[in-house]
Amino acid sequence: MNGGGGNSVVDGVVVKPSVEGVEDYAVKIESLQFKFPGREEPIISNFSLKLPHGSRCILVGENGAGKTTLLQLIAGQYMVDRNTIRILGRPAFHDTSLLCSGDMSYLGTAWRRDIAFAGYGVSLQGDFSAGQMIRGVKGVDPERREKLIKLLGIDESWRMMRVSDGQRRRVQICLGLLKPYKVLLLDEITVDLDIVGRLALLEFLEEECEQRKCTIIYATHIFDGIEPWFTHFAYLENGELKRGGEASTFTELKDRKLLHVIEDWLRKIRDERRKNKVKNPDVRSRPSATKMNLAFGNRHMAFYR
């Protein structure tokens, strides 16, 4: 279907043509299919997405829709065909330099007290101060470091064994953003932040995209104040991209809050699921994508940069 100006529309997603030989997209995913070993149904099904440099994409959907798995696939944690997921024109899984060089960075919810920050040699289990951890990272622009400490409201005297979850999260975010990146993957990283800290972080990330043309994919369930922030969106339903594209094409947002739009979509899914269960009580529902957590190789500890 023609969308005008040479664009095409596939399943409601506006796809702009690319110039042969030129990498127009920071993130390019084409017909992605993925399932875990031992499962019949795919976790991600026929997923395609193209994001230009400098874009900020929010990834939304109900719990178990496949958001975390998708981010892990983009980060190269699981093997797919070389041409299915391209980051900066390079294959996500096969090109290990994407993560090792810092061109791509992943900040997710998998942080725990007993996980060390690979590359920094600092364990969250030791009684270190926040300042020791942050200032112990070499090769960091001092101005960038001070800016992050200030905007995240970090007290460098915090002892990591005695801080709250929200304070620990601030330090972890700071560590993850100390070195510049070209593609940043965020999985619910603001869940422990207060509203002031969250908005300050979003403002910083917006500046990163506008000034350095980096690209961000941000999976979140927190929608307050995010409408002006994102340039693109992707709505996952049962592992499929049901709605996606540029924010400017998101007509439902013109007179409604994103929270209410997403709420309507999720309620519709659950209503349909309940009706199907009544009609077919013996049919099992689709397994949650979040219930399978495979271990990953050492090279992927670069996630923690």
Instruction: Quick: pLDDT tens for 13-60.
Output: 444 443 333 468 999 999 999 998 888 888 999 999 999 999 999 999
* Residue 206 contacts residue 214 (beta carbons within 8 Å): no
* 267-283 tens-digit pLDDT: 888 888 788 777 776 65
pLDDT at 293 > cutoff 70: no
Q: Is the pLDDT of residue 257 over 90?
A: no
**Other C-beta atoms lying within 10 Å of the C-beta of residue 245:** 23
- Measured in whole angstroms, the distance separating CA 32 from the mean position of its chain's CA atoms is 16
Give CA–CA dist 83/96, Å, rounded. Answer: 15
Q: Give me the pLDDT at residue 301, please.
A: 36
Confidence of residue 258 (pLDDT cuts 50, 70, 90): confident
Tell me the domain boundaries of the chain. 23-304
As a 3-state breakdown, the chain gives helix, strand, coil percent values, each rounded to 5, of 30, 25, 45
Query: Which CATH code is given to the segment(s) 23-304?
Result: 3.40.50.300
Q: What is the mean pLDDT of the chain?
A: 81
> What is the torsion angle, in degrees rounded to the nearest 10, for the CA atoms of residue 63, residue 57, residue 302 and residue 28?
110
pLDDT score recorded for residue 111: 52
- What is the structure's pLDDT at 269? 82
Is a pLDDT exceeding 90 seen at residue 115?
A: no
Amino acid at 227: E
Q: Give SS3 for 226.
A: coil
**Predicted structure pTM score:** 0.80
What proportion of the chain, given as a percentage, has pLDDT over 90? Answer: 44
